[in-house]
Amino acid sequence: MNKSFIFILVFLSIVFYAGEHMAGADDKYKGNPFGVLEFLYWNHSWNSFQYPDEASIKKGIALMKEAGVGIVRMDFIWQDIEPVQGKTDYSKYDKIVDILCKNKIKILGLLDYTADWASPVGKWNHPSDDNSMFVKYATAVVQRYKDRIKYWEIWNEPDSHTYWEPQDGLKQYCVLLKDAYTAIKQADPEALVLNGGLSSGLSSVNRLYDNGSRDYFDILNVHIFETPIDKIAIKRAVSFLNATRKVMSRNGDCFKKIWVTEIGCPGVKRGLEVKNWWMGKNPSEQDQARWVKQVFDQLLVLDSVEKVFWAFFRDTNNHWGNGVDNFGLVRNDFSKKSAFDSYKQASKKWNNN
């Protein structure tokens, strides 16, 4: 057989396979791309009882629906669910999931942190050397909600000292990701799994692949933080996502989508004295509103980006003690900021296209 003809046949088969693969991926990823990170499960003294009752949860979710939120990123904290080994309590999470589903808002479930009794040093951000306990918890959560939740994220910012200790270049995390991914797929073959949102730039994306994790996440998950006071902030965000896509392509992973599961900035009301956030001067509420518009207008048009989650939906009550407490689209008393209107307008524009 002519070599040129063989080459054409091989090429066409590759194109056909890629087309089939992408069609399947498109079907899976359809839906409202407007997300938010929100702490709906916060009902503890350490967070000033952010959502102390069902009424406050319903109030927050009603505002999310009004804003056009399509998906909420929320934690299913191991310590909350299994405070004592072998004894589980899902009542709080059952309630939140029910309310979100009734409002037709999808959920990205964040499976994270170490139960006190499972950590070798008794710390929530210090994982056990034995992954089986975390995998057992994660599998149980997925099985319980698999009829209503199809997106799961393994840990939050495992490349950050704040959320994972000790840091080792994502080596231990990538083993956990593989173990959890495998178990989740067995529990629910239709589930889509995200790596823990990466917060340390392109180096972390490279490490994820260098540690052999390509086959153990379905969607690549990154976090981006810039200050809108910087005039080229949006250019940097776009450049980072384009560079991330190149890393994915170099690793034969170009058919996957990217989700930005955290992007945000403070919006501080004029005259309010608030300590600066980690990126310097706090943006005003007007700066924040403009940034919301830029983020959703310019990131969602990228072919590689499927969903973007604003962090957070509601201001927190002096939890961080600086501008981070003012990340919300609404204030802590649920009153709307200008950023709420920007988000709502962007979502409405998308839905009308």
CATH of residue 49: 3.20.20.80
Q: Is residue 86 part of a domain?
A: yes
- Coarse DSSP helix, strand, coil percentages of the chain, rounded to the nearest 5 percent: 45, 15, 40
Residue 238 in this model has a pLDDT that exceeds 70: yes
pLDDT tens readout for residues 47-105: 999 999 999 999 999 999 999 999 999 999 999 999 999 999 999 999 999 999 999 99
Q: Is residue 302 part of a domain?
A: yes
Q: Is residue 60 part of a domain?
A: yes
- pLDDT value of position 204: 98
Q: Is residue 4 part of a domain?
A: no
- pLDDT value of position 353: 75
**Most distant CA pair in the chain, distance:** 79
Distance CA 351, CA 33 (A): 10
Residue 20 in this model has a pLDDT that exceeds 60: no
Distance CA 284, CA 265 (A): 10
Q: Which domain holds residue 305?
A: 32-352
Q: CA triplet 186, 192, 14: central angle to 5 degrees?
A: 100
pLDDT tens readout for residues 114-157: 999 999 999 999 999 999 999 999 999 999 999 999 999 999 99
Q: Lowest-confidence range among 8-22, 200-214, 317-331?
A: 8-22
What whole-number percentage of the chain has pLDDT above 90? Answer: 90
Helix (H) or strand (E) holding 98: helix 91-102
Of 182, 178, 181, 158, whose CA–CA distance to 170 is shortest? 158
In total, how many domains does the chain have?
1
Q: Is residue 10 part of a domain?
A: no
Q: Is residue 182 part of a domain?
A: yes
Residue 18 in this model has a pLDDT that exceeds 90: no
Q: Is residue 246 part of a domain?
A: yes
Distance CA 12, CA 21 (A): 14
pLDDT tens readout for residues 160-205: 999 999 999 999 999 999 999 999 999 999 999 999 999 999 999 9
- pLDDT value of position 30: 59
Q: Is residue 156 part of a domain?
A: yes
Q: What is the mean pLDDT of residues 241-252?
A: 98
